[in-house]
Amino acid sequence: MTVDGTDFWIYEPSPFSKQWFSHKHNGPAVRHEVGICIQTGWIVWANGPHAAGQWSDLKIFQHKLKHVLLQGEMVEADGTYRDSKVRNSKDDRCVSMADRRSRCKARSRHESVNKLLKQFGCLRNRFRHSLRTQKHFFNACAVVTQLGIETGEVGPFQCTH
Protein backbone atom coordinates (compact mmCIF):
# COMPACT_ATOMS: atom_id res chain seq x y z
CA MET A 1 0.00 0.00 0.00
CA THR A 2 0.96 3.63 -0.33
CA VAL A 3 0.72 5.67 2.85
CA ASP A 4 0.60 9.41 3.38
CA GLY A 5 -0.58 11.92 5.94
CA THR A 6 -3.02 14.66 5.05
CA ASP A 7 -3.92 17.72 7.11
CA PHE A 8 -7.38 19.16 7.73
CA TRP A 9 -7.92 22.71 8.92
CA ILE A 10 -9.58 23.26 12.34
CA TYR A 11 -10.42 26.18 14.60
CA GLU A 12 -7.79 26.87 17.22
CA PRO A 13 -8.53 24.72 20.29
CA SER A 14 -8.50 26.52 23.61
CA PRO A 15 -6.16 26.97 25.37
CA PHE A 16 -3.66 27.83 22.61
CA SER A 17 -1.01 25.19 21.92
CA LYS A 18 1.66 24.86 19.23
CA GLN A 19 0.85 21.15 18.96
CA TRP A 20 -1.96 21.94 16.50
CA PHE A 21 0.12 24.06 14.09
CA SER A 22 0.30 22.78 10.53
CA HIS A 23 2.85 24.21 8.11
CA LYS A 24 0.57 23.15 5.25
CA HIS A 25 -2.24 25.41 6.49
CA ASN A 26 -0.12 27.91 8.41
CA GLY A 27 -2.53 27.41 11.29
CA PRO A 28 -4.25 24.75 13.41
CA ALA A 29 -4.99 21.37 11.84
CA VAL A 30 -5.38 17.67 12.49
CA ARG A 31 -3.50 15.05 10.51
CA HIS A 32 -4.89 11.72 9.28
CA GLU A 33 -2.88 8.85 7.84
CA VAL A 34 -4.39 7.21 4.76
CA GLY A 35 -3.33 3.94 3.13
CA ILE A 36 -4.21 3.06 -0.48
CA CYS A 37 -3.90 -0.44 -1.97
CA ILE A 38 -1.40 -0.32 -4.84
CA GLN A 39 -3.25 -3.00 -6.84
CA THR A 40 -6.83 -1.73 -6.54
CA GLY A 41 -6.55 1.95 -5.56
CA TRP A 42 -8.92 1.29 -2.66
CA ILE A 43 -8.67 3.00 0.71
CA VAL A 44 -7.47 0.23 3.03
CA TRP A 45 -6.20 2.18 6.07
CA ALA A 46 -7.19 5.31 7.95
CA ASN A 47 -5.71 6.52 11.21
CA GLY A 48 -6.28 9.79 13.05
CA PRO A 49 -6.87 12.50 13.94
CA HIS A 50 -3.55 13.60 15.38
CA ALA A 51 -2.43 17.11 16.32
CA ALA A 52 -0.56 18.23 13.18
CA GLY A 53 2.24 20.03 15.00
CA GLN A 54 2.92 17.18 17.38
CA TRP A 55 2.62 14.20 15.03
CA SER A 56 4.70 13.98 11.84
CA ASP A 57 3.73 11.53 9.09
CA LEU A 58 6.61 9.27 10.15
CA LYS A 59 5.69 9.37 13.84
CA ILE A 60 2.06 8.43 13.05
CA PHE A 61 3.28 5.53 10.87
CA GLN A 62 5.67 4.26 13.54
CA HIS A 63 3.02 4.55 16.24
CA LYS A 64 0.49 2.14 14.71
CA LEU A 65 0.65 1.00 11.06
CA LYS A 66 4.24 -0.20 11.26
CA HIS A 67 3.22 -2.67 13.97
CA VAL A 68 0.33 -4.21 12.01
CA LEU A 69 2.39 -4.94 8.89
CA LEU A 70 3.31 -8.58 8.43
CA GLN A 71 6.93 -9.69 8.48
CA GLY A 72 8.53 -8.73 5.15
CA GLU A 73 5.67 -6.38 4.27
CA MET A 74 6.51 -2.78 3.36
CA VAL A 75 4.65 0.37 2.35
CA GLU A 76 5.39 2.90 -0.38
CA ALA A 77 5.64 6.53 0.77
CA ASP A 78 7.20 9.88 -0.01
CA GLY A 79 10.66 10.95 1.12
CA THR A 80 9.54 12.17 4.56
CA TYR A 81 9.23 8.57 5.72
CA ARG A 82 12.58 7.06 6.73
CA ASP A 83 11.99 3.63 8.14
CA SER A 84 13.00 0.05 7.36
CA LYS A 85 9.35 -0.79 6.55
CA VAL A 86 9.06 2.01 3.96
CA ARG A 87 10.13 2.21 0.33
CA ASN A 88 10.32 5.76 -0.96
CA SER A 89 11.78 7.91 -3.72
CA LYS A 90 15.24 7.61 -2.13
CA ASP A 91 15.15 3.93 -3.17
CA ASP A 92 14.39 4.77 -6.84
CA ARG A 93 18.02 4.83 -7.99
CA CYS A 94 18.32 1.04 -7.44
CA VAL A 95 15.26 -0.06 -9.45
CA SER A 96 14.29 -0.44 -13.08
CA MET A 97 12.61 2.36 -15.00
CA ALA A 98 9.35 0.35 -15.19
CA ASP A 99 9.34 -0.16 -11.40
CA ARG A 100 10.11 3.52 -10.85
CA ARG A 101 7.18 4.50 -13.11
CA SER A 102 4.75 2.17 -11.32
CA ARG A 103 5.83 3.49 -7.91
CA CYS A 104 5.41 7.07 -9.10
CA LYS A 105 1.96 6.22 -10.45
CA ALA A 106 0.94 4.68 -7.11
CA ARG A 107 2.08 7.76 -5.16
CA SER A 108 0.31 10.00 -7.66
CA ARG A 109 -2.90 8.00 -7.30
CA HIS A 110 -2.62 8.42 -3.54
CA GLU A 111 -2.51 12.21 -3.90
CA SER A 112 -5.63 11.96 -6.08
CA VAL A 113 -7.46 10.14 -3.29
CA ASN A 114 -6.37 12.83 -0.81
CA LYS A 115 -7.87 15.39 -3.20
CA LEU A 116 -11.11 13.40 -3.41
CA LEU A 117 -11.37 13.43 0.39
CA LYS A 118 -10.98 17.21 0.44
CA GLN A 119 -13.95 17.68 -1.87
CA PHE A 120 -16.20 17.24 1.18
CA GLY A 121 -16.96 20.59 2.80
CA CYS A 122 -16.33 19.27 6.32
CA LEU A 123 -12.75 18.34 5.32
CA ARG A 124 -12.03 21.14 2.82
CA ASN A 125 -13.20 24.01 5.05
CA ARG A 126 -12.20 24.77 8.61
CA PHE A 127 -13.80 22.11 10.83
CA ARG A 128 -16.15 23.94 13.18
CA HIS A 129 -17.52 21.15 15.35
CA SER A 130 -16.08 19.40 18.39
CA LEU A 131 -12.70 17.77 17.70
CA ARG A 132 -14.09 14.59 19.30
CA THR A 133 -16.40 14.24 16.28
CA GLN A 134 -13.81 15.05 13.57
CA LYS A 135 -12.73 11.40 13.31
CA HIS A 136 -16.31 10.35 12.54
CA PHE A 137 -16.64 13.00 9.82
CA PHE A 138 -13.33 11.91 8.29
CA ASN A 139 -14.25 8.20 8.41
CA ALA A 140 -17.66 8.89 6.82
CA CYS A 141 -15.99 10.83 3.99
CA ALA A 142 -13.43 8.02 3.53
CA VAL A 143 -16.22 5.41 3.29
CA VAL A 144 -18.22 7.46 0.76
CA THR A 145 -15.04 8.07 -1.27
CA GLN A 146 -14.19 4.35 -1.16
CA LEU A 147 -17.69 3.43 -2.35
CA GLY A 148 -17.30 5.89 -5.23
CA ILE A 149 -13.94 4.35 -6.15
CA GLU A 150 -15.37 0.81 -6.02
CA THR A 151 -18.33 1.71 -8.23
CA GLY A 152 -16.22 3.78 -10.64
CA GLU A 153 -18.19 6.95 -9.92
CA VAL A 154 -15.13 8.90 -8.68
CA GLY A 155 -11.45 8.80 -9.35
CA PRO A 156 -9.32 10.27 -12.11
CA PHE A 157 -7.34 7.04 -12.36
CA GLN A 158 -7.82 3.50 -13.60
CA CYS A 159 -7.79 0.72 -11.03
CA THR A 160 -7.42 -2.98 -11.71
CA HIS A 161 -9.61 -5.25 -9.60
CA-CA distance, 44 to 4, in Å (whole number)? 12
Q: In this structure, what are the phi and psi dihedrals at residue 136, rounded to the nearest 5 degrees?
A: -70, -40
Residue-wise pLDDT tens digits, 14-44: 888 999 999 988 999 999 999 999 988 999 9
Asked if 116 and 155 count as a contact pair (C-beta separation under 8 A), the reply is: yes
Taking residues 45-73, report their average pLDDT. 95
**Pairing mode, strands 21-22 and 27-36:** antiparallel
Residue-wise pLDDT tens digits, 85-141: 998 766 656 667 788 788 888 888 899 999 999 999 999 999 989 989 999 999 999
Given pLDDT bands bounded at 50, 70 and 90, which one contains residue 161?
Answer: very low
